[in-house]
Amino acid sequence: MPYIKPEFRPAFDEVVKTAQKGTVADALLDALTLISTKQDSELDGCLNYLFTQLLRKLKNLDDAYVIILNVLYSVFKVNTEPRYAKLQRVIGLLVCMNWEFHRRKWKPLALLKINDLIEYMATIISAYEDKKIAESGDIDITWDDDKYRKFLIESRPNLPPPKPSYRKTNKNSIRP
């Protein structure tokens, strides 16, 4: 959530004002300098506040996108040193922003930029996951439809039984 301590807000608001003047490089540098002063426990909230304000207040959402992406790269190094915890944190941050924009009905075009960021991060995560699969092997992803259907029926006694699946089972694919 973007609801950080009131005493933190003015410094981040200055970064947004710098970006509003069209000096994206300066805003990025100011953002990175400011973020480097925050403790890890404060970081996610501060990033959420900064990113939310950029997306809400900048007319050029591409400028906000550039700043956000570069801050994520610099802070979490997701493009050069991906780690599961870092990737999880970034996706969590972006998804929470998405929910809050949707919940508050803020700037629908900003939601599209957040979704673009999530999709872009998903490509980084996918590459990381593929690398880990190659290193450690895949998980067992075979399905037993009869056992799953029986489990659903037993765990939901008051609901109608699930409809049978007409898709062929491919033991190398995950099915919903």
Sequence-distant (≥ 6) Cβ neighbours of residue 111 within 8 angstroms: 98, 101, 102
* Residue 34 pLDDT exceeds 70: yes
Distance, in Å, from the CA atom of 57 to the CA atom of 138, rounded to the nearest integer, reads: 44
Which is more confidently placed, 41 or 154?
A: 41
Which is more confidently placed, 1 or 146?
A: 146
Mean of all residue pLDDT scores within the chain:
86
- Reading phi first (left if > 0) and then psi (alpha if -120 to 50, else beta), residue 78 is in alpha
* Percent of the chain whose pLDDT exceeds 90: 65
Q: How confident is the model at residue 110 (pLDDT cuts 50, 70, 90)?
A: very high
Helix (H, G, I), strand (E, B) or coil at 159: coil
User: What are the structural domains of the chain?
Assistant: 9-136 (1.20.1310)
Q: Please tell me the predicted confidence (pLDDT) of residue 173.
A: 47
* Residue 131 pLDDT exceeds 90: yes
Number of H-type helices and E-type strands within the chain: 7, 0
Half-sphere exposure of residue 79: CA atoms within 13 angstroms, side-chain side: 8
Prediction pTM value: 0.77
